[in-house]
Amino acid sequence: MRALFSNAALWLPLSVAFGVQLYKVLANWVQTGRLQWRILAQAGGMPSSHSAMVASLATTVGYQNGLDSPVFAIAMVLAVIVMYDARGVRQESGKQARVLNELLRTVFSGQPITDAELKELVGHTTLQVFVGCLIGILYSLAYLVARDWF
């Protein structure tokens, strides 16, 4: 059980993702004056917690196992796929949702068809992915280097 709780490759990515999501809750609170905890479970926004998490995983695995290890290669490929998906596929889904929502509002103006709209904020911009990636790398390196020095 001790090994599970001391597994940096597990806890660093999870903690940075949670920290980024918590930042989004607090940033929204400052902007709107309302504390909305549901933001913890929402996708999208600045920075990308998915990117922070997989960048943290790849950084930790690379630091612990070497940049030439097969496990680092797996973590890196996973990180690239997740960040590509966050930037490309999911952002396009959000754009399509915006268009469909506007179309439904226009076509069915005054006639309720449903209370639910398609979720529009599902993806990330390139900057959001980049910042999330940078946070994940720096967070993990700061912890790992500090742990080894002290």
Chain segment 79-138, per-residue pLDDT in tens: 999 999 887 765 666 666 666 667 666 666 656 555 555 455 556 788 999 999 999 999
Element (H, E) at 27: helix 8-32
Radius of gyration of the chain (CA): 19
Residue 150 has pLDDT above 70, yes or no: yes
Q: What is the pLDDT of residue 130?
A: 96
Q: What is the pLDDT of residue 6?
A: 93
Chain segment 31-74, per-residue pLDDT in tens: 999 999 999 998 888 999 999 999 999 999 999 999 999 999 99
Task: State phi, psi for 108 to the nearest 5 degrees.
Answer: -105, 35
Q: What is the pLDDT of residue 101?
A: 64
Q: Delimit the domains of the chain by residue range.
A: 2-88+123-149
Q: What is the pLDDT of residue 44?
A: 82
- Residues contacting 100, CB < 8 A, separation 6+: 118
Q: What is the pLDDT of residue 42?
A: 86
> What's the rounded Cα separation, in Å, for the pair 11 and 62?
15
Q: What is the pLDDT of residue 76?
A: 98
**Whole-structure pTM value:** 0.80
Where residue 13 falls among pLDDT bands split at 50, 70, 90?
A: very high
